[in-house]
């Protein structure tokens, strides 16, 4: 009996490791996982390409289990999973959703929206962080379920069009460029092209009022550099690291919640007091981590290059 249950446990473990590896593949386009070097230390923490990816993605269970849906600030809510962000902006004219994540997560997101007392069917606009499966694979299903207008950054179009879960075409209703805005029910978001991680990686910004004060909310795009950095991508990333630091920011958010320490901040909500998501001091911490890694990868790459 004991042997049997042990065997079952190890089979399950094996299966879940395989499933996790399979789930990572479309998300990171890196299979096998990235290396454990170079290492950089920022804010007393040491990072490698491998531990950054694992911090972002967690386990397969983390990727598909809802994190307690909660209000972040004003009319902005978290409706994603433990490791894949999805944000809901509620307006009197319907709602805006940022990131559908994996297609299998769309019902999880829809339930989180309902748990907050809102209607998923009221989703009028769907925005995306960047054209990787862990953020935008579910767009076609969201469109099917809500009829939302799907907005896409021009430079990410080819990658989005290649994303066809179950053979479904990736919907695109409006193509935007750097600096374009999206408005619904009195709320306006501005799209900033912050390319490098993908060609059309988009950082969304939005001013918000709460308690008589104004805050700048920033939905940062991923700043994680690829394992091998082509010259064109290096140029994009150099430009992006400069651009992000010019963006006014009081409330930093990201496409993976670990980028803005969501779990720790959420835990502080229960204590009351100041809103923990207002965190201007750490607005560019993730940029610092990713820029240090980007420069270290470049150095490693130059050292390995034939002379």
> C-beta of 176: minimal distance to Zn ion in Å?
19
Taking CB under 5 A as the binding criterion, the range among 140-148, 162-170, 217-225, 229-237 that sits at the site for Zn ion is 217-225
Q: Residue 106 phi/psi, 5° resolution?
A: -55, -45
Question: Taking CB under 5 A as the rule, does residue 199 contact Zn ion?
Answer: no
Scanning residues 61 to 120, which ones bind Zn ion (CB under 5 A)? none
How far is it, in rounded angstroms, from Cα 73 to Cα 84?
A: 19
Q: Residue 118 phi/psi, 5° resolution?
A: -110, 170
Residue where the block lists tokens 């998923």: 120
What is the pattern of x (binds Zn ion, CB under 5 A) and - over residues 121-160?
A: -----------x----------------------------
**Residue among 132 and 265 whose Cβ is closer to Zn ion:** 132
**Residue among 113 and 126 whose Cβ is closer to Zn ion:** 126
Decide: helix, strand or coil at residue 217: strand
Taking CB under 5 A as the binding criterion, the range among 42-50, 219-227, 243-251, 269-277 that sits at the site for Zn ion is 219-227
- Give the chain's end-to-end CA distance (angstroms, integer): 62
| Beta strand spans in the chain (E) | 40-42, 45-47, 70-73, 76-78, 87-91, 94-98, 123-127, 149-153, 174-176, 181-184, 187-193, 202-210, 213-220, 251-254
**Residue among 149 and 259 whose Cβ is closer to Zn ion:** 259
Strand partners, 181: 190
Number of residues that bind Zn ion (CB under 5 A): 2
**Residue among 85 and 95 whose Cβ is closer to Zn ion:** 85
Q: Which residue is nearest to Zn ion (CB)?
A: 132
**Residue among 202 and 275 whose Cβ is closer to Zn ion:** 202
Which residues contact Zn ion by CB under 5 A? 132, 222
């Amino acid at each position: 009996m004991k042997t049997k249950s042990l065997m079952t446990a190890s089979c399950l473990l094996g299966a879940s490791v395989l499933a996790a590896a399979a789930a990572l593949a479309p998300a990171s386009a890196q299979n096998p996982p990235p290396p454990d070097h170079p290492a950089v230390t920022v804010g007393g923490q040491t990072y490698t390409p491998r531990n950054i990816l694992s911090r972002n993605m967690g386990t397969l269970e983390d990727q598909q289990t809802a994190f307690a849906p909660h209000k972040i600030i004003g009319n902005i809510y978290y409706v994603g999973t433990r490791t894949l962000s999805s944000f809901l902006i509620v307006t009197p004219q319907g709602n805006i959703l940022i990131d559908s994540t994996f297609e299998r997560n769309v019902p999880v997101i829809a339930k989180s929206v309902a748990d907050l007392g809102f209607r998923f069917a009221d989703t009028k606009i769907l925005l995306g962080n960047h054209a990787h499966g862990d953020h935008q694979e579910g767009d076609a299903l969201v469109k099917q379920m809500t009829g939302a207008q799907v907005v896409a950054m021009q430079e990410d179009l080819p990658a989005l069009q290649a994303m066809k879960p179950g053979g479904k075409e990736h919907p695109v209703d409006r193509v935007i460029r750097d600096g374009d805005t999206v408005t619904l029910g009195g709320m306006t978001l501005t799209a900033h092209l912050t390319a490098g991680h993908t060609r059309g990686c988009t950082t969304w910004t939005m001013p918000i009022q709460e308690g008589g004060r104004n805050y700048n909310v920033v939905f940062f795009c991923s700043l994680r550099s690829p394992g091998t950095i082509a010259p064109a991508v290096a140029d994009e990333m150099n430009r992006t690291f400069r651009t992000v630091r010019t963006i006014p920011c009081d409330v930093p958010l990201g496409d993976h919640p670990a980028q803005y320490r969501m779990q720790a901040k959420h835990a502080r909500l229960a204590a009351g007091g100041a809103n923990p998501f207002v965190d201007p001091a750490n607005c560019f911490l993730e940029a610092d981590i990713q820029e240090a890694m980007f420069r270290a990868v470049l150095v490693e790459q130059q050292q390995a290059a034939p002379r």
